[in-house]
Amino acid sequence: MAENVPGPRPTPDGHGDGTYDGTGGGDGSSLGDPPPGDAYPDEAGHVPDDVPPRAEGRPRPVVHPRREWKARPPLRPAKILDRAPDRIIVHHTSTPNSPDMSLEHAYQLSRDVQRFHMQGRGWADSGQQLTISRGGVVMEGRNRSLDAIRAGKHVVGAQALRNNSHTIGIENEGTYKTEDVPDALWGSLIEVCAWLCVRYKLTPSLAIIGHRDLNDTDCPGDRLYARLPDLRDAVALRLGPQALLSSPVPGVPDMPDGVGLPSPGDASSLPQPFRRR
């Protein structure tokens, strides 16, 4: 990767080693119109900066689209599957725990992650679908992610080896081996998970997992991982009766990853059993 990049850069944390980059050619599928009452205040997809997350009502996180953080174009359009993911994967970026909570810092984080994934990893685009800064700024990651989420479909990312075809990943800025997550990040993470659970009809207690539950990695760090039960509870509380919705694919997923796509190194692999530790 480039050595002249200002600001903190993502470091390898095990997300990427051999992680299947599930991007393929564009499938030309139409995402259709977003359902009424979706998470975006205007049809153009722009979300005003000054709209706070809602403490009640339908989860509606402020999500900054790629154009706001000035994403590079992807090498290829992301592949979209006509189904919902069944797991939400919580990651940490393994970058420094910056005290800078600003919007510009958040945008720089997204650019740095994208640059690392494209130039360092050789992927087509950012691997994760969503990114949250320590200041709580929520951003679109991989291209087409927001349109897909709005349509209840799944953008195949590159964030969980052998499991990209059925999981959506959230990269949380920082390193949480020993340090706890900032309140701003935590609040946004709850809101985003609640939003995804509504959009994809997922049950928080089943759907929300850590990266280490699927792959051989310390991600998202011991401290953040230890808070996942709290996260599941907080999301369920946020959703209220909606949390009783059934997961569309309960239990351990049984589909191979990268359906219909070549996937070097994992052609014979099936999703690993979930590990709780």
CB of 212 to Zn ion, least distance (A): 8
Touching Zn ion, residues 213-232 (CB under 5 A)? 219
CB of 43 to Zn ion, least distance (A): 33
CB of 219 to Zn ion, least distance (A): 3
Touching Zn ion, residues 171-200 (CB under 5 A)? none
Whether the Cβ atoms of residue 220 and residue 192 lie closer than 8 Å to each other = no
Whether the Cβ atoms of residue 197 and residue 204 lie closer than 8 Å to each other = yes
Touching Zn ion, residues 5-34 (CB under 5 A)? 15
CA–CA separation, 119 vs 105, rounded Å? 20
* By CB under 5 A, residue 161 contacts Zn ion: no
* By CB under 5 A, residue 91 contacts Zn ion: yes
Residue with tokens 């530790």: 277
Distances (CA, A) of 191 to 27, 40, 54, 257, 261: 30, 14, 8, 28, 33
CA–CA separation, 184 vs 166, rounded Å? 28
CB of 79 to Zn ion, least distance (A): 20
* By CB under 5 A, residue 88 contacts Zn ion: no
- Between 21 and 38, CB nearer to Zn ion: 21
Among residues 211, 227, 232, 238, the one that binds Zn ion under rule CB under 5 A: 211
Binding part of the chain for Zn ion, among 87-95, 105-113, 196-204, 228-236 by CB under 5 A, reads 87-95
Binding site residues, Zn ion, CB under 5 A: 15, 91, 211, 219
